[in-house]
Amino acid sequence: MKAVVHDRYGPPEVLRVEDVERPSPKPDELLVKVRATTVNRTDTAFRSAESFLSRPFTGLLRPKQRILGSELAGEVEAIGAAVGGFAVGDPVFGHLGAWRFGAHAEYVCVPESAPVTTKPDGLSFEEAASVSDGAILALNALRGANLDTGSAILVCGASGSIGTAGVQLAKHIGAHVTALCTAKTLDLVRSLGADDVIDYRQEDFTKGGRTYDVIFDAVGKYPFATCRSSLKRGGVYLPTDGLHHVLLSVWTSRIGDTKVVFRIPPRYAKEDVLLLKELIEEGSYKPVVDRRYPLTQVVEATRYVETGQKTGNVVLTVTKDGTRDGS
């Protein structure tokens, strides 16, 4: 089968497509024929290993995981003897789980217990592939804030993968959502349910005097020190990355009238994918796809992700109409 592999850390150019052995499912696994997957910031972080602190997990000198890709949509090709909840031919979507990879390939084995379920009706494979990572990371973060009906939340980086999910999920809860983004995505985030929108290039949200119950930094560019003055007394700041937030979480839980809540490691659960499927089918959630690339253009797709300018998700189409894209 074709797969995207890398044998050393470095820029996107270390990625290449080559033939590798097709995996065989264990008794509790599904073999999924991947129709679409994504390139997300977890993929880029593991490929570049920019932070040396990550290397005990990713491999000290070279990558432990040659094939990246954590979310997918496709069809069940085969099942292990102990699998009872899926059948061959089922269209499925979901996530491989925390720090599990392998979806940048024509086939991948997935434990039945993984956050994977049958694909929502009416959703293409490309759309379904883009649902899980950003939305589950947003769910993880938002659960640390105890959002309620009428809560005021500011979503920073509202047009990205995590941000577009955060806007929709917060609105579903009943919060009053203010979205921080660029002028070109104002209409998009409004369409996702944002009550107010701010073009961060034209307005500094910290200078207007408005305060929020929750500030969700979905893009990792608005530190707590910057946001603290815009939080109400008892307000919560929700980051999505940065290990220093572990210390800030402990510190602010004891001192001060605002808190940092940083939930790690991220928890990827099947019930989260089932919830997302339900929201999609009732019309309360929709995935946002910026660009689609064939698997053979993974380097170009990765370069685009690393510009930091993507809107929503970047999809890799692996197979279409029974054939390999780019072949």
Dist. CA 227–CA 153, nearest whole Å = 12
Dist. CA 56–CA 64, nearest whole Å = 10
Q: At 58, which helix (H) or strand (E)?
A: helix 55-58
Q: At 323, which helix (H) or strand (E)?
A: strand 323-324
106 with 121, same domain: the answer is yes
90 with 144, same domain: the answer is no
Q: At 313, which helix (H) or strand (E)?
A: strand 313-317
Q: What mean pLDDT do residues 288-306 have? A: 97
149 with 211, same domain: the answer is yes
Residue 15 lies in a domain: yes
Residue 111 lies in a domain: yes
Q: What is the tens place of the pLDDT at every residue in 134-165?
A: 999 999 999 999 899 999 999 999 999 999 99
Q: What mean pLDDT, rounded, does the chain reach?
A: 93
Backbone angles phi, psi at 254, to 5 degrees: -110, -25
* Overall number of domains in the chain: 2
Residue 206 lies in a domain: yes
Does residue 323 register a pLDDT over 60?
Answer: no
Residue 256 lies in a domain: yes
Place of tokens 């290993």: 49
Residue 279 lies in a domain: no
Quote the domain boundaries for residue 162. 134-260
CATH (domain of 118): 3.90.180.10
Residue 72 lies in a domain: yes
By the 10 Å C-beta count (0-12 exposed, 13-18 middle, 19+ buried), 228 is classed as middle
The pLDDT score that the predictor gives to residue 51 is 63
Dist. CA 202–CA 187, nearest whole Å = 16
Dist. CA 168–CA 171, nearest whole Å = 5
14 with 98, same domain: the answer is yes
The pLDDT score that the predictor gives to residue 327 is 37
**Hey, is 277 helix, strand or coil?**
helix
H-helix segments, 59-160: 125-129, 132-142
| SS3 letters across 150-177 | CCEEEEECCCEHHHHHHHHHHHHHCCEE
Q: What mean pLDDT do residues 301-324 have? A: 86
| Strand 176-181, strand 152-156: pairing | parallel
Does residue 324 register a pLDDT over 60?
Answer: no
Count CB neighbours of 180 within 10 A.
27
CA 80 to chain centre: 28
The amino acid present at 324, given as its one-letter code, is R
CATH (domain of 199): 3.40.50.720
Q: pTM here?
A: 0.92
Residues belonging to the chain: 327
118 with 143, same domain: the answer is no
CA 214 to chain centre: 20
74 with 48, same domain: the answer is yes
Q: How confident is the model at residue 61 (pLDDT cuts 50, 70, 90)?
A: confident
108 with 183, same domain: the answer is no
139 with 127, same domain: the answer is no
68 with 174, same domain: the answer is no
